[in-house]
Amino acid sequence: MKMVVLGGPGAGKGTQLMRIAKKLNMVHISTGDIFRENISKDTELGKLANTYISKGNLVPDSVTCDMVADRLKKKDCETGYALDGFPRTIEQAKFLDKYLSDKNEELDAVIDIEVDDSLIIERLCGRRICPDCGASFHIKYTIPKKDGICDQCGGKLIQRQDDKVETIKSRLEVYHRQTEPLKDFYKESGKLIIIDGNGSADDVEQRILNSLGVVE
């Protein structure tokens, strides 16, 4: 299965894909995670990406599309993949369409997780992430069993540098202006599935699996 997951910052894209990607035999590819990995390794890509990410802006399309194309060429993508946070502009969506059609392939589903802006701020301010495995926690909603320690791999949890209120507000503005128009883009292809992202992570997961016709 090849899937795109859309949704604003903090909508729960990462949380849900950590749960469902393996079940559906897909590799979870988050462009944000790849950028953060490059930032922590201080690569040239990381240095460039950081100048945009720290302000809540998007990394330029050409840089992002090249990075995704490189990732999709890897062998583990052959069985299927879920793209988290890509595409984020019409330009990127057109690039992905062309990339797939050149290989005679197409997306199976585009999931859009929708959450109210007011809840997003609360979710992101309280988020803690594991820099080692990418797992996401919340100081109120998804509390790790051991304070400050990742349940999955034992890594030390940190707060993302772009999870400050001012940066969250910029990310939300960028989302509404540049990424939300993708809903109409994918509606035309008949692949768009809108998921209510409010409620517990379990409930949202069940909504996604139901919408895909997955029986557990």
By annotation, the residues acting in catalysis are 13, 88, 127, 160, 171
Task: Dig out the tokens for 70 from the structure.
Answer: 């490189």
DSSP helix/strand/coil, 127:
strand
Q: Which does 95 bind (CB under 5 to 8 A by kind): Mg ion, ligand AP5, none?
A: none
Rule CB under 6 A: is residue 38 a binding residue for ligand AP5?
A: no
Q: Across the chain, where does the E strand assignment appear?
A: 2-7, 27-30, 81-84, 109-114, 127-129, 136-138, 192-196
Interface residue with ligand AP5, options 6, 20, 29, 88 (CB under 6 A): 88
Give me the least distance between CB of 216 and Mg ion, in Å please: 24
- Can you tell me whether residue 74 is helix, strand or coil? coil
User: Rounded to an integer, what distance in angstroms lies between the CA atom of residue 137 and that of residue 54?
Assistant: 21
Q: Is 12 in the site for ligand AP5 (CB under 6 A)?
A: yes
Residue 88 binds: one of ligand AP5, Mg ion, none (C-beta under 5 to 8 A by kind) = ligand AP5
Stretch that binds Mg ion, among 6-14, 105-113, 119-127, 177-185 (CB under 5 A): 6-14
Using CB under 6 A, pick the residue from 46, 77, 99, 142 that binds ligand AP5. 142
Picked from Mg ion, ligand AP5, none, the partner binding residue 53 (CB below 5 to 8 A depending on kind) is ligand AP5
Within residues 152-181, the interface with ligand AP5 by CB under 6 A covers 162, 171
User: Would strands 192-196 and 2-7 be described as parallel, antiparallel, or unpaired?
Assistant: unpaired
Footprint on residues 7-26 left by Mg ion (CB under 5 A)? 14
Element (H, E) at 187: helix 182-189
Q: How far is the CB of 44 from Mg ion (least distance, A)?
A: 23
Q: In what order do the strands lie in the sheet with 2-7?
A: 27-30, 81-84, 2-7, 109-114, 192-196
Using the rule CB under 6 A, is 134 a contact of ligand AP5? Answer: no
Phi then psi for 200, rounded to 5 degrees? -75, 160
Are the C-beta atoms of residues 13 and 113 closer than 8 Å to each other?
yes
CB of 43 to ligand AP5, least distance (A): 15
3 state SS of 85: coil
Please pick, from the candidates 72, 123, 130, 208, the single residue that binds ligand AP5 as defined by CB under 6 A. 123
What end-to-end distance do the CA atoms of the chain give, in Å? Answer: 17
Residues that bind ligand AP5 (CB under 6 A): 7, 9-15, 30-32, 35, 52-53, 56-59, 64, 85-86, 88, 92, 123-124, 127, 136-138, 141-142, 162, 171, 199-201, 204
